[in-house]
Amino acid sequence: MYPRWLLAGCIVLVAQADGEPGHIFVDPHSGHFVDTYGRVRIFHGVNAVLKVPPWLPQTDHFTSDNSLDAKTMDLLQEWGFNVVRLGVMWPGVEPEPGQVDQGYLQRVRYVVDELKKRGIHTLADLHQDLGSRYFCGEGFPEAYVEELLRDPSSQMSQVPRFPHPFPDLPRNESGVPSLQGCLQRLFSEYYSTYQVGALFAELYRSGSRLQDGFLRFWTAISNEFKDDPNLLGYELLNEPSGTCLKAHDAFACRLSGHAMPVEFNNKVEAYYLTPLYQAAARAIRETGAKQVIFYEGTVWPKVGADVFPGPALGAETQQALAYHIYCQPGDGDNWPSGLVCDAAQEIFEPRSVSGKAAVWSV
């Protein structure tokens, strides 16, 4: 038996090793976020995502819509916010395949450090909507998309051209649809197009250049921030798509393009997202980063099923479900539309948790 003081000494050491001030953990028993004192922490915050170059909100001066400068941060602190979900954009990190832009990482670090001075944590969000400007959105470095469009053997170049099954849009000489044309529809409708489906299928294909780049992104980010307790965690992929993934699934794509999604189950989460997320989590943990890893399902509500069949990262304790569910535009304007929101929150949210992952609502 060891003397009592030695045991006590060990405990203090363990607590210090785990206890970089500011580091937030998931308590796997309760599913709560806790700090190093064991206190439950509740986060309120905002998204800050710049979806065009230079891929970070500007930090020099205040604007009413897209700055993240000192004044904006002071206001966030004054209003009681304690987290920012920051779009750390893939084309910013990897402007050309295989080349990580250290300058961009330093600009991200500057934002994280300035937020830290105001007691605000940062969630690093690999943000995307529709993946590419070629498809009226953004998110993946365009060079990957261009390679796939050029490669006659890719699914993307074999399926009907974007925005099929919708009517064509005016484009410029590089084949990029005009913004004005894009804006004629709600952006989310373009998920129901063959080429966007093929782009996501490529991301989910193990060993594809696109997936390798995605993993490289997470290695670069976690390597940069692994010792930073103010970085709350890594949100692997904003709003992954599960629509039109298969080239010959013409019926499903057409149907979902014009009406409702055809599936409300968790097959996409189980078969495509879980392996992708596990690969990204391995890349992150290999750098030694210990922060929480946030993962997301598709945005469609599930009926009679959890968002994932179980915690997506298996036995990993530091994981959280980034839960997205949306109501119709204009919800809350009146009572019938408010009901849709209530249904979304009251019926689907309790079903979102399975196992011991923490839950993060956006």
Taking contact as CB under 6 A, which single stretch among the options 55-63, 108-116, 169-177, 263-271 is the one that binds ligand NAG?
A: 169-177
Query: Residue 238 Cβ, how far from ligand NAG at the closest point, in Å?
Result: 21
Please choose, from the candidates 153, 253, 237, the residue with its C-alpha nearest in 3D space to the C-alpha of residue 196: 253
Any contact of residue 174 with ligand NAG (CB under 6 A)? yes
How far, in Å, are 124, 131, 140, 190, 257 from residue 187 at the CA level? 23, 12, 16, 6, 12
Any contact of residue 65 with ligand NAG (CB under 6 A)? no
Any contact of residue 172 with ligand NAG (CB under 6 A)? yes
Q: Which of 173, 329, 334, 346 binds ligand NAG (CB under 6 A)?
A: 173
Return the biggest CA–CA distance within the chain: 79
Q: Report angle CA 261, 267, 272 to the nearest 5 degrees.
A: 105
Nearest to ligand NAG of 35, 146 (CB atom): 146
Any contact of residue 70 with ligand NAG (CB under 6 A)? no
CA distance 53 to 60: 16
Any contact of residue 344 with ligand NAG (CB under 6 A)? no
Query: Residue 162 Cβ, how far from ligand NAG at the closest point, in Å?
Result: 14
DSSP class of residue 176 equals: P
Any contact of residue 334 with ligand NAG (CB under 6 A)? no
With beta carbons less than 8 A apart as the criterion, state whether 233 and 112 touch. no
Nearest to ligand NAG of 142, 228 (CB atom): 142
Taking contact as CB under 6 A, which single stretch among the options 23-31, 150-158, 172-180, 280-288 is the one that binds ligand NAG?
A: 172-180
Phi, psi values for residue 356, rounded to 5°: -115, 25
How far, in Å, are 138, 218, 232, 234 from residue 226 at the CA level? 27, 11, 11, 10
Any contact of residue 180 with ligand NAG (CB under 6 A)? no
Query: Residue 34 Cβ, how far from ligand NAG at the closest point, in Å?
Result: 45
Nearest to ligand NAG of 170, 207 (CB atom): 170
Taking contact as CB under 6 A, which single stretch among the options 64-72, 106-114, 166-174, 303-311 is the one that binds ligand NAG?
A: 166-174
CA distance 308 to 250: 26
**Residue found under tokens 């009251």:** 346
Residues that bind ligand NAG (CB under 6 A): 133, 172-174, 176
